[in-house]
Amino acid sequence: MPVVYSLKNVVKSRLVEGAGFRLSIPSIEINAQENVALVGHSGCGKSTLLDMLALALHPDSAEHFSLTPKEDESYSIDTLWQKKKQNVLAKIRKQHIGYVLQQGGLLPYLTVRENIELPRKLMDMPEDDSTRSIARVMGIHRQLDKLPGLLSAGERQRVAFTRALSHRPTILLADEPTASLDPITARKIMAVVMELVKGLKITMITASHDWAHVYKMDLRSLHQEAEVVENGNVYQSTFRD
């Protein structure tokens, strides 16, 4: 399988009220159609790493950062950031990446259907039956005309997954997508998503602090190792395979 993400010596620092945070990634390679978990405690940099993988956050430095969303399409992301090609990065993201946020991130004034169709509209894609079939698999096809505020938390996350998949991305990123749900609902939703992603041949990366779940699903995991750098009060966090 081709390598979708290839990162080498990627660093991102963030200043937080006098104390520093530094995320460091010596080397990560994620192959097409792999299903990978980013595992680590709160504050270790999972969302920071996902935002960089989503091309939404600029690394401070990167020896190498490439993205190959399709076999015949490859980008040097570090070069695009260096050249400040934000519009190109946004276009790659819009076309190839679906992103599910922890709280779903649905627009409250749009119906479920309009929320799901939004990524397709932004790309001028025609209406398509596949969105309806994904909605059916996710079990939300009867909720399409409701506003998100009238759904349960679990239903909202199902909608968020459906929306993230509606423009047929090759990559799905999910940031603790079921953290606000009870464990049984969380596992049910993830089981459906895993099946769907496998069928659609999508590469999936999920941030999670639920070790037990990650082990149970038998996912490859990238673990976080922390060290506090003594002088300077910098909390250094490293993700390794």
The only residue of 7, 22, 30, 47 in contact with ligand ATP, by rule CB under 6 A = 47
Residue with tokens 């991130």: 105
Q: Is 45 one of the binding residues for ligand ATP (CB under 6 A)?
A: yes
* Total Cβ atoms within 10 A of residue 224: 20
Edge-to-edge strand list for the sheet holding 35-39:
73-76, 61-70, 3-16, 19-31, 234-240, 220-229, 35-39, 203-208, 171-175, 97-100
206 binds ligand ATP (CB under 6 A): no
Under the criterion CB under 6 A, does residue 17 sit at the interface with ligand ATP? no
Q: CB nearest Mg ion: which residue?
A: 47
Minimum gap (Å) between residue 51 Cβ and ligand ATP: 8
The distance of closest approach from Cβ of residue 99 to ligand ATP in the complex, given in angstroms and rounded to an integer, is: 14
- SS3 state of residue 213: helix
CB of residue 11 to ligand ATP, shortest distance in Å? 13
Helix (H) or strand (E) holding 23: strand 19-31
Is 58 an interacting residue with respect to ligand ATP (CB under 6 A)?
no
Question: Does the footprint of ligand ATP cover residue 203 (CB under 6 A)?
Answer: no
Positive or negative, the CA dihedral 179, 176, 120, 201 is negative
Counting residues that bind ligand ATP (by CB under 6 A) gives 12
| Residue 169 binds which of ligand ATP, Mg ion, none (CB < 5-8 A, kind-dependent) | none
Query: Which position has the token pair 């104390």?
Result: 19
Judge whether 238 and 223 are in contact, CB under 8 Å.
no
In the list 18, 42, 124, 126, the residue contacting ligand ATP (rule: CB under 6 A) is 42
- Binder to ligand ATP among 8, 11, 14, 33 (CB under 6 A)? 14
User: Are 95 and 167 in contact, with CB atoms under 8 Å apart?
Assistant: yes
Applying CB under 6 A, among 58, 94, 146, 209 the residue interacting with ligand ATP is 209
Query: Interface mask (CB under 5 A) for Mg ion, residues 44-83, using x and -?
Result: ---x------------------------------------
Nearest Cα residue to 168 out of 72, 112, 115, 97: 97
Residue 36 half-sphere exposure toward CB, CA atoms < 13 A: 24
The C-alpha atoms of residue 107 and residue 133 are separated, in whole angstroms, by 22
Size of the site for Mg ion (CB under 5 A): 1
List the structure tokens of 71: 């076999």
Q: What is the biggest distance separating any 2 CA atoms in the chain, rounded to whole angstroms?
A: 58
Task: Choose between 130 and 233: whose C-beta lies nearer to ligand ATP.
Answer: 233
- Interface residues with Mg ion (CB under 5 A) are 47
- Interface residues with ligand ATP (CB under 6 A) are 14, 16, 21, 40, 42-48, 209
